[in-house]
A and B are shown apart, each in its own frame.
Chain A
Amino acid sequence: MADSFEIRIITPDRTFYVGEAEMVEFNTTEGEIGVYKNHIPMTVIIKPGVLTITGQEVKKAALHSGFAEILQDSVTILAEVIEWPEEIDEERAIAARDRAEKRIREHDPKTDIARAETALQRAVARINVIR
């Protein structure tokens, strides 16, 4: 059993989650990472993905953008956009995924590929959280 540490998730509108966790996993610009207690202090930038908090129970949320400050005994995630599974509209997420995929496939020089890719990542993260 790993030691637990404090995790705080703050959004511009509310304090999303505060609690104890043994491990948190999320996606960053450098790839997916998992954080245990006594991690070296680090600041990482978040990419759209699934946030998993493992403590007494496992919680999942769709984390889209922001950054995280990792200290030895706490993790603070400043999330610009984050959603619990029950806040996600599955049909909309699937529609968004299909739309983004179509845009990327079509290779239209006018489309902003980077934007379409982020949209796709976001939609996939939402879908993964629900399932």
Chain B
Amino acid sequence: MASMRDIKRRKSSIQSTGQITKAMKLVSTVKLQRSKQAAINSKDYFNYMYRTVQSMLAKAGSINHSFVKGNDSSKKAVIMITGNRGLAGGYNSNIVKTVTRSGMSKDDMIIYSVGKKGREAMHRHGYELAADYSTMIDAPQYDDAMRLSAVLLNAFRNGEIGEIYLAYTGFKNTVVHEPKLIKLLPVELSEDAETNEQSKVPMNFEQEEEEALELIIPKYVTSLIYGGMIESVASENGARMQAMDNATSNAEEMIDKLTLQYNRARQGSITQELTEIIAGSQAIS
């Protein structure tokens, strides 16, 4: 049986770990509230944006624009949104898995990483990395998304990349987060019946449709990137809250067990001491 001192030391170390995880849980709970609200507030915008672009495409099926038709490059840019910090359960590794198991060839992919954890993991796996945008994820601003999408669209126009994907964690509710990989460009028309229904309203464009696409698609890409960042941040905080909650309750369980062991050891040592004293006094008398 472990000595009393060992058990005591172990217990206090677990206790302080438990305190840290508890504090982290509280912090991420507060952060979650804030980021969840942001995710909800922004939803409207993306739904409208998505619907408008879909209805534009539905009506203008024969548009001959590279944003719809694509270009010749086989390179695929993947924007990968992860966290800058770990200790969030499977949050970061799920995104890494989604990207590495996407079925796309490793040589064709260029990773635009937002978030340090994802960047490190992809570096280990030997993927080609473009610039790092990790600071954006701390507090995502629409400007950040604009900057990133400008870089990507430029590369797309120059023919350096042929497809743009976005890997992020969708926020369903506090406990359910879903890693997703979606295609941003070339834009594809979804088969969704609902959007087709709505798109029956004949829509006019002030400009030529191609020109309108040229202007609207960048906004569409930007808004999806921004939405991805916002949802990922909410998911990260949710995942961390859960992970830390589990860690805290595990720590409590271990402390209970150790307390029991400690008391047993203490009793054992008292009994032993008594036996020794009695044995000693008997030997003298």
Q: Which of A41-82 contact B (CB under 8 A)?
A: 41-45, 65-67, 69, 71, 76, 78, 80-81
* Chain A residues closer than 8 Å to B212, beta-carbon distance: 43, 45
Interface of B is mostly: helix
The contact of A41 among B41, B49, B202, B207, by CB within 8 Å, is B202
* Residue numbers in A under 8 Å from B146 (CB-CB): 80
Q: A13 interface residue, CB < 8 Å from B? A: yes
Shortest beta-carbon distance from B120 to chain A in Å: 29
Instruction: Kindly state whether residue A107 has any CB partner on chain B within 8 Å.
Output: no
* A10 near B215: Cβ-Cβ < 8 Å: no
Query: What 0/1 pattern do residues 28 to 70 of B give for CB contact below 8 A with A?
Result: 0000000000100110110011001000100000000000000
Considering only residues 204-228 of chain B, those with a C-beta below 8 Å from chain A are 204-207, 212, 215-216, 219, 222-223, 226-227
User: Residue on B with the closest CB to A69?
Assistant: B52
Residues of A that sit less than 8 Å from B by CB: 10-15, 28-30, 40-45, 65-67, 69, 71, 76, 78, 80-81
Query: Please, how many angstroms separate the alpha-carbon atoms of A30 and B52 in the complex?
Result: 20
Q: Is B127 an interface residue (CB 8 A)?
A: no
B2 at the interface (CB under 8 A from A): no
| A83 shortest CB reach to chain B, Å | 13
Q: A13-B41, A66-B219 are in contact. Are A41 and B142 (CB under 8 A)?
A: no
**Alpha-carbon distance between A117 and B146 when the two chains are bound, in angstroms:** 19
Given known A-B contacts A28-B206, A66-B219, A13 and B42 have beta carbons under 8 A apart: yes
A45 touches B41 (CB 8 A): no
Distance in Å from the Cβ of A29 to the closest Cβ of chain B? 7
User: Is B104 interfacial (CB 8 A cutoff)?
Assistant: no
Contact of B207 among A15, A30, A78 (CB under 8 A): A30
| A71 near B44: Cβ-Cβ < 8 Å | no
Are B219 and A67 within 8 A (Cβ)?
yes
Please, which residues of chain B bring their CB within 8 A of the CB of A14?
41-42
B278 within 8 A of A: no
State in angstroms the CA–CA spacing of A12 and B43 once bound together. 8
Partner of B48, one of A10, A41, A42, A44: A10
The 8 Å CB contact of A45, one of B45, B142, B216, is B216
Across-interface contacts of A41 in B (CB, < 8 A):
201-204
A-B residue pairs, 8 tightest by C-beta: A42-B204, A30-B206, A44-B206, A10-B45, A45-B215, A12-B142, A41-B203, A14-B41
Chain B residues closer than 8 Å to A15, beta-carbon distance:
41, 44
Q: Which residue of A lies closest to B47 (CB)?
A: A10
